[in-house]
């Protein structure tokens, strides 16, 4: 699904990612953990196509296609989705309008017709229920005045509506209360399928209790310094990141 | 300079020709008032960029064309079906075409008997004393070439008088249309809400084709004790028009005045807004201007807090593309004994091209000590992070920008409380965003 080879990224003159390789197969769930400032969000932004980063080496492919040349909206239409660590507030654009625009852009790209208003409403209402959100959120401006946890949930609502094949979730768990975490995790689990892959960035084992990853990576100072199974996350929770450096 | 003088002379020469056709010629007080206006206009002429308040807005080249008063031209017939798209649904309408009231095009059925709504020319025949007590009162202390011109030349206008405690159950729309080329029209509106009265008035200005002409309009607004008046104004003149308007409002105790302006059309549009806020009265002044090409929008506002405990809110937003230029000058003045004033003034602008320009200057002049006044100005481009966020949701860059621009404007549309007018404005605004794929029902 997603294949990253020796990716090197700079912001200005500063090297942030120093050679990252990742191979995520269809249906797999990967988790990335790592200290603050190690480059996790940078990786997610580069994958989504944000400007301001210079790729100085390596490659990124999604289902064999080179990602680098694709505009962000094309990546999204091709099925790559990023749930942001810090979702942006968009005053004046209603949530439901963006959801519809997003879904139709994806459908059009796939050669499908636009959804009609009634079908769309039915679909959105089903998804919003899945995430335990109030329907009122549909008619509010995107993320405007949402609490931290509400924003995170809203990201997953967008993901559920767009049905991407490569879902990247950047610290979706931070800001969610315990109940919300369970609901969101259940929502994500319901999206799991053998054709859909997940890359979850997190600091905490708790999320991984609910969404059990196949592979866990540790990112430190722009490099993947360790890769293991779900038990690696447990170990990190107990010992912190210090010991990995010693292993190196 | 020489040409400016000669063009002024042309206007003055023409005045002798049309004078006898002006409404209210039999009323001594009005003849006198017009003469005063003419005298002052003949010494001052139209404002030039040497006037501090007109520094950024040069009307001289325009005025030089010496537009002919519509009164000097034969009148045109306009068919009702040509007017359809100017009418805002669910409103009463007073229609003025090329400076003349049209009875057949106006729609005033079902208007409550006690409310007086008519053409100013009719009011000067039917209730001249009522007109006399308001005409010129709100602009009495103003000294301004366009006011003097308007006073001397006005051929028509809207007269609205809502008696005490009466609430108009439907908005009233003034439909002002110019169909001819190279003409000058002068319109004077009087809007009066007596104590405890409530009403909504929509002033709308249109031009039928891409023609050059001058619209001069002055509205004098009187909001008595406990009265609540909302005035919407839509300026959608033809693309080469010069639109110069002034709204002068006098607010008494505990009254509210809400004003919301939409400027879309014309080549040069100057809006002046002068509000005198009385004791514990509140005013809310808002505006949106959307310009492209070489359009020029100038908004000058003055809020005077003459009495204590008043409040004022002001928000003007501008969106400028191409080589369009905007001016915002807002002045809030709090007089010596006007304590406990709460005032806020904001101006936010979006520049969509490198060649667009805005000059903005909020100003506070405060002589009282116990007041709360805030102001803020922003000038900028669309936020990159927002554009990227929308792109990451599969929306194209162009559509994302359109969406954000539209959202910026939509905040002002959202303030419209009359749903038929809201849809009307939204439809006009959508025409300004042709390639966005914005769907009205989803906003
Ligand atoms: N625009 C920028 N200019 C300079 N440095 C930047 C910029 N953006 C990010 N960085 C730096 O890049 C490094 C990686 O940041 P990134 O946001 O990817 O970290 P992270 O692993 O997501 O951290 P966290 O766990 O706190 O979210 C940090 O040192 C950060 O300060
Ligand atoms: Mg991060």
How far is Cα of residue B197 from the mean position of the Cα atoms in its chain? 22
A89 with A202, same domain? no
A105 with A228, same domain? no
Contact between A97 and B385 using a beta-carbon 8 Å cutoff: no
Q: Would you say residue A103 lies in a domain?
A: yes
* Token pair listed for B275: 């509000």
Is the CB of residue B291 less than 8 Å from the CB of residue B321?
yes
* Token pair listed for B196: 């405890």
> Measuring from atom 5 of ligand 1, which residue has the nearest CA?
A11
What integer pLDDT is reported at residue A243 of this predicted model?
76
Helix (H, G, I), strand (E, B) or coil at B376: strand
Q: Would you say residue A92 lies in a domain?
A: yes
What integer pLDDT is reported at residue B140 of this predicted model?
85
Integer Cα distance of A184 and A201 in angstroms: 15
Pocket test residue of A16, A44, A203 for ligand 1, highest count of atoms within 8 A of CB: A16
Pocket test residue of A18, A41, A218 for ligand 1, highest count of atoms within 8 A of CB: A41
The residues, any chain, with a CB within 8 Å of residue B295's CB and separated by 6 or more, are: B266, B267, B268, B269, B322, B324, B325
Instruction: Write down the domain spans for chain B.
Output: 2-431
- Distance of CA B399 to CAs B53, B388, B433, B440, Å? 38, 11, 10, 14
Residues around the ion ligand 2 (C-beta < 5 A) = A 40-41, 85
Please list the ranges in chain B whose pLDDT falls under 50: 1-4
The residues, any chain, with a CB within 8 Å of residue A215's CB and separated by 6 or more, are: A28, A29, A30, A31, A227, A228, A229
* Nearest CB partner across the interface for A92, out of B400, B407, B437: B407
A90 with A34, same domain? no
Strand stretches in B306-391, DSSP E: 311-320, 325-334, 341-351, 357-366, 371-380
Integer Cα distance of B232 and B245 in angstroms: 13
Q: Is A41 in the pocket of ligand 1 (CB under 6 A)?
A: yes
A40 with A106, same domain? no
* Nearest CB partner across the interface for B394, out of A92, A93, A105: A105
> Measuring from atom 28 of ligand 1, which residue has the nearest CA?
A37
A107 with A152, same domain? yes
Q: How far is B356 from chain A (nearest CA, A)?
A: 23
Q: Would you say residue A201 lies in a domain?
A: yes
Pocket test residue of A8, A35, A39 for ligand 1, highest count of atoms within 8 A of CB: A39
Q: How far is B385 from chain A (nearest CA, A)?
A: 7
CA of A38 to the centre of ligand 1 (A): 7
Q: How far is B348 from chain A (nearest CA, A)?
A: 14
Q: Is B223 exposed, middle or buried (0-12, 13-18, 19+ CB in 10 A)?
A: buried
CA of A37 to the centre of ligand 1 (A): 5
- Distance of CA B395 to CAs A44, A67, A88, B432, Å? 19, 17, 15, 20
CA of A11 to the centre of ligand 1 (A): 9
Q: Per-residue DSSP letters for B10-65?
A: HHHHHHHHHGGGSTTTT-HHHHHHHHHHHHHHHHH-S--TTSGGGTT---HHHHTT
Q: Classify B134 in phi/psi space as left (phi over 0), alpha (psi -120 to 50) or beta.
A: alpha
Q: Is A42 in the pocket of ligand 1 (CB under 6 A)?
A: yes
Closest CA to B236 of B261, B201, B258: B261
A153 with A204, same domain? no
What ipTM was predicted for this assembly? 0.95
Q: Is A44 in the pocket of ligand 1 (CB under 6 A)?
A: no
Contact between A158 and B403 using a beta-carbon 8 Å cutoff: no
* Nearest CB partner across the interface for B394, out of A91, A106, A117: A106
With residue B421 as reference, give the H or E element that holds it. Answer: helix B419-432
In B, residues 368-407, which contact A (CB 8 Å cutoff)?
383-386, 388-397, 399-400, 403-404, 406-407
What integer pLDDT is reported at residue B303 of this predicted model?
97
What integer pLDDT is reported at residue A246 of this predicted model?
46
Integer Cα distance of A42 and B159 in angstroms: 64
Q: What is the pLDDT of residues A121-172, one digit of tens each?
A: 999 999 999 888 999 999 999 999 999 989 999 999 999 999 999 999 999 9
What integer pLDDT is reported at residue B2 of this predicted model?
42
Q: How far is B67 from chain A (nearest CA, A)?
A: 42
Q: How far is B436 from chain A (nearest CA, A)?
A: 11
Helix (H, G, I), strand (E, B) or coil at B74: coil
What integer pLDDT is reported at residue B73 of this predicted model?
83
* Residue range of the domain that includes A238: 1-65+168-178+197-248
The residues, any chain, with a CB within 8 Å of residue B36's CB and separated by 6 or more, are: B148, B151
φ, ψ of residue A213 to 5 degrees: the values are -80, 155
- Give the pLDDT of chain A (248 residues) as one tens digit per residue: 999 999 999 999 999 999 999 999 999 999 999 999 999 999 999 999 999 999 999 999 999 999 998 999 999 999 999 999 999 999 888 899 999 999 999 999 999 998 988 899 999 999 999 888 999 999 999 999 999 989 999 999 999 999 999 999 999 998 888 888 998 899 889 999 999 999 999 988 888 989 999 999 999 999 999 898 988 888 888 888 877 764 44
**Residue in B with minimal Cα distance to A140:** B443
A173 with A51, same domain? yes
* Token pair listed for B161: 């008088």
Residue B430 in contact with partner chain A when CB distance is under 8 A: no
Q: Is A14 in the pocket of ligand 1 (CB under 6 A)?
A: yes
φ, ψ of residue A75 to 5 degrees: the values are -55, -45
Question: Across the strands, what pairs with B230?
Answer: B200, B258
User: Which of A90, A115, A118 is the best mutation test for B, with the most CBs of B within 10 A?
Assistant: A90
What integer pLDDT is reported at residue B317 of this predicted model?
96
Contact between B394 and A50 using a beta-carbon 8 Å cutoff: no
What integer pLDDT is reported at residue B297 of this predicted model?
97
Number of domains in chain A: 2
Residue linked to tokens 């200057």:
B361
Closest CA to B217 of B203, B229, B207: B203
> Measuring from atom 13 of ligand 1, which residue has the nearest CA?
A37
* Token pair listed for B369: 């000590």
Residue B408 in contact with partner chain A when CB distance is under 8 A: yes
């Amino acid at each position: 699904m997603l294949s990253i080879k020796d990716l090197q990224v700079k912001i200005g003159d500063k090297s942030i990612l120093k050679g990252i390789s990742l191979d995520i197969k269809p249906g797999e769930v990967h988790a990335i953990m790592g200290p603050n400032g190690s480059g996790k969000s940078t990786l997610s932004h580069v994958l989504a196509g944000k400007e301001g980063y210079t790729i100085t080496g390596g490659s990124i492919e999604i289902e064999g296609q080179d990602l680098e040349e694709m505009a962000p909206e094309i990546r999204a239409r091709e099925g790559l989705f990023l749930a942001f660590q810090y979702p942006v507030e968009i005053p004046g654009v209603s949530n439901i309008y963006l959801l519809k625009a997003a879904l139709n852009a994806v459908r059009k790209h796939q050669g499908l017709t636009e959804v009609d208003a009634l079908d769309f409403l039915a679909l959105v209402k089903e998804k919003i229920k899945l995430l335990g959100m109030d329907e009122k959120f549909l008619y509010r401006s995107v993320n405007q005045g949402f609490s931290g946890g509400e924003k995170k949930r809203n990201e997953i609502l967008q993901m559920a509506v767009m049905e991407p094949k490569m879902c990247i979730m950047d610290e979706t768990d931070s800001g969610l209360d315990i109940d919300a975490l369970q609901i969101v995790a259940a929502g994500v689990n319901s999206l799991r399928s053998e054709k859909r892959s997940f890359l979850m960035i997190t600091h905490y084992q708790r999320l991984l209790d609910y969404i059990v990853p196949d592979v866990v990576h540790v990112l430190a100072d722009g490099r993947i310094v360790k890769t293991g199974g779900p038990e690696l996350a447990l170990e990190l929770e107990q010992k912190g990141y210090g010991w990995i450096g010693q292993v190196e | 300079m020489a040409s400016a003088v000669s063009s002024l002379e042309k206007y003055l020469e023409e005045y002798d020709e049309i004078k006898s056709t002006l409404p209210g010629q039999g009323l001594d007080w009005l003849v006198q008032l017009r003469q005063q206006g003419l005298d002052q206009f003949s010494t001052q002429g139209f404002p030039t960029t040497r006037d501090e308040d007109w520094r950024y807005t040069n009307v001289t080249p325009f005025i030089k064309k010496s537009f002919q008063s519509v009164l000097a031209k034969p009148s045109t017939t306009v068919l009702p079906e040509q007017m359809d798209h100017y009418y805002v649904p669910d409103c009463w309408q007073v229609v003025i075409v090329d400076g003349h009231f049209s009875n057949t095009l106006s729609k005033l059925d079902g208007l409550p008997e006690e409310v007086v709504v008519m053409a100013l020319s009719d009011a000067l025949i039917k209730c001249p004393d009522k007109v006399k007590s308001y005409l010129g009162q709100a602009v009495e202390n103003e000294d301004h070439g366009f006011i003097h011109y308007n006073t001397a030349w006005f051929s028509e206008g809207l007269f609205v008088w809502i008696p005490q405690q009466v609430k108009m159950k439907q908005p009233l729309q003034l439909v002002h249309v110019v169909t001819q080329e190279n003409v000058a029209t002068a319109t004077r509106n009087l809007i009066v809400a007596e104590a405890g009265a409530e009403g909504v008035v929509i002033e709308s200005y249109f031009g039928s084709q891409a023609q050059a002409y001058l619209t001069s309009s002055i509205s004098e607004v009187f909001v008595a004790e406990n009265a609540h008046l909302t005035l919407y104004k839509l300026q959608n003149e033809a693309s080469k028009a010069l639109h110069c308007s002034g709204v002068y409002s006098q607010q008494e105790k505990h009254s509210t005045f809400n004003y919301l302006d939409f400027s879309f059309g014309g080549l040069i549009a100057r809006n002046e807004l002068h509000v005198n806020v009385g004791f514990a009265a509140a005013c809310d002044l808002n505006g949106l201007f959307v310009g492209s090409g070489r359009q020029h929008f100038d908004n000058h506002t003055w809020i005077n807090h003459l009495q204590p405990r008043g409040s004022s809110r002001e928000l003007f937003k501008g969106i400028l593309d191409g080589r369009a230029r905007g001016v915002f000058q807002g002045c809030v003045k709090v007089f010596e004994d006007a304590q406990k004033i709460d005032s806020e003034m904001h101006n936010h602008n979006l520049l969509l091209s490198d060649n667009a320009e805005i000059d903005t200057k909020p100003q506070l002049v405060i002589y009282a000590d116990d007041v709360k006044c805030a102001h803020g100005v922003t000038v900028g481009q669309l936020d990159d992070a927002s554009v990227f966020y929308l792109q990451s949701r599969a929306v194209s860059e162009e559509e994302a920008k359109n969406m954000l621009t539209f959202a910026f404007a939509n905040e002002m549309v959202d303030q419209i409380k009359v749903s038929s007018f809201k849809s009307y404005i939204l439809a006009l605004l959508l025409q300004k965003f042709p390639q966005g794929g914005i769907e009205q029902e989803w906003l």
